[in-house]
Structure 1
């Protein structure tokens, strides 16, 4: 399913630190230094009347998006919301022994989708991803793969475009011959990684 970009209005990006990409939380216009700003720079030439906004927050899990969805999404009345969240739901299981079940993750994710759809916002769902750079991170896959399955199922349920970011980024890592070309820790992207993700998002939208 292709992503149909609005010609005017607000395109909102939501998620965790991968989306935030070190944006200044005190500056509502700051787009960070990652894939969002790259997309915005391209759309400035193709969709000059479309306003791009970034509300990614480092460390967020799906439940955190639920808590801030009114102020950081619905209040902005976005025409299109691009959402990528889930890797922290997996990561906290392994670094803090603070797991989030796949069922809880799905309930949180569905909650924000319902609220956005009821307001009339179009949706695009971006898979959470992991590019293992340490042997022990392969054990994370069992947990994250459940969340990717949730996102894919919700994309069907809400008739939303899906960006299969996990496969795209892992393929790019193999193409480069070294995962560190895309990420230093398996999660946070290098400039090259953000380039790949931005290009894939724009391709989904039919923008080159």
Structure 2
């Protein structure tokens, strides 16, 4: 088992606070303290000869519309060869804390826009990470009504655009059978260190290649 990533590839992680993970935005090479950092660390240790560069441009609080607004500067201008997108939970969360709803249709339209712009401007491979929520605190259970259609959008777009998919919602649901949900995400959304490791492992599995 090898990897689809090739010598000298540039991987861009894009998304919200889960990707941001406290990175220093004044330092372009800073990867934060979450799954982006863990993914780069694990990959670099396993494949040092490939000299793959990892970048993180996640910004806390972002929704799809925010990615649209900054896609040129924070994606296309960086000319990555791999674009990993992890967005969607804030498109759901803002409905419940600010009554600022993003419909599944608007979510899909915005997501499709950044995918189209990426395809038009870059010869980059895509990795789509689906958003997740675990049932802790209790009110997170009501979010499923809003989040589930958005998860389906990500899955359908991955299929349509030939992207690799990191199926986090199912993975976190399964992990929550091994330890209580708050072990993986204390507020139901933001991963614990173990949760970030779960994402990193899933990302690396997604880019594995047979027979390499």
What TM-score comes out, normalization by structure 2 length? 0.93
Residue 100 of structure 2 corresponds to residue 106 of structure 1: no
Q: What's the counterpart of residue 64 of structure 2? A: 62
Q: What's the counterpart of residue 135 of structure 1? A: 138
Q: Aligned equivalents of 1:109 and 1:31: distance in 2?
A: 23
CA-CA distance at 1:45 after TM superposition? 2.4
User: 3-state SS of the aligned residue for 1:174?
Assistant: coil
Residue 95 of structure 2 corresponds to residue 93 of structure 1: yes
CA-CA distance at 1:157 after TM superposition? 0.8
Q: Aligned equivalents of 1:103 and 1:139: distance in 2?
A: 20
Residues 10-51 of structure 1 show CA distances to partners (whole Å, capped at 9, x for unaligned) of 100000000111111111111000011011111212343110
What is the alpha-carbon root mean square deviation over aligned residues?
A: 1.4
User: 3-state SS of the aligned residue for 2:178?
Assistant: helix
Q: What's the counterpart of residue 34 of structure 2? A: 34
Q: Aligned equivalents of 1:163 and 1:116: distance in 2?
A: 19
Q: Aligned equivalents of 1:90 and 1:56: distance in 2?
A: 18
Q: Aligned equivalents of 1:137 and 1:187: distance in 2?
A: 9
CA-CA distance at 1:9 after TM superposition? 2.6
What TM-score comes out, normalization by structure 1 length? 0.95
CA-CA distance at 1:127 after TM superposition? 0.3
Q: Aligned equivalents of 2:158 and 2:168: distance in 1?
A: 14
User: 3-state SS of the aligned residue for 2:146?
Assistant: helix
Q: What pairs with 1:190-205 in structure 2 (closer than 5 Å)?
A: 190-205=192-207
User: 3-state SS of the aligned residue for 1:124?
Assistant: strand
Q: What pairs with 1:112-151 in structure 2 (closer than 5 Å)?
A: 112-118=114-120, 119-151=122-154
What are the ranges of 5 or more consecutive residues in structure 2 without an aligned counterpart? none
User: 3-state SS of the aligned residue for 1:188?
Assistant: coil
User: 3-state SS of the aligned residue for 1:175?
Assistant: coil
**Of 72, 75, 86, which aligns to 2:74?**
72
User: 3-state SS of the aligned residue for 2:31?
Assistant: coil
Q: What's the counterpart of residue 13 of structure 2? A: 13
Given that residues 164 and 207 in structure 2 are in contact (C-alpha distance below 8 angstroms), is that contact kept between their aligned partners in structure 1?
A: no
Q: What's the counterpart of residue 184 of structure 1? A: 186
CA shift in 2, pair 1:9/1:206, >3 Å = closer
What are the ranges of 5 or more consecutive residues in structure 1 without an aligned counterpart? none
Given that residues 19 and 34 in structure 1 are in contact (C-alpha distance below 8 angstroms), is that contact kept between their aligned partners in structure 2?
A: yes
Given that residues 9 and 51 in structure 1 are in contact (C-alpha distance below 8 angstroms), is that contact kept between their aligned partners in structure 2?
A: yes
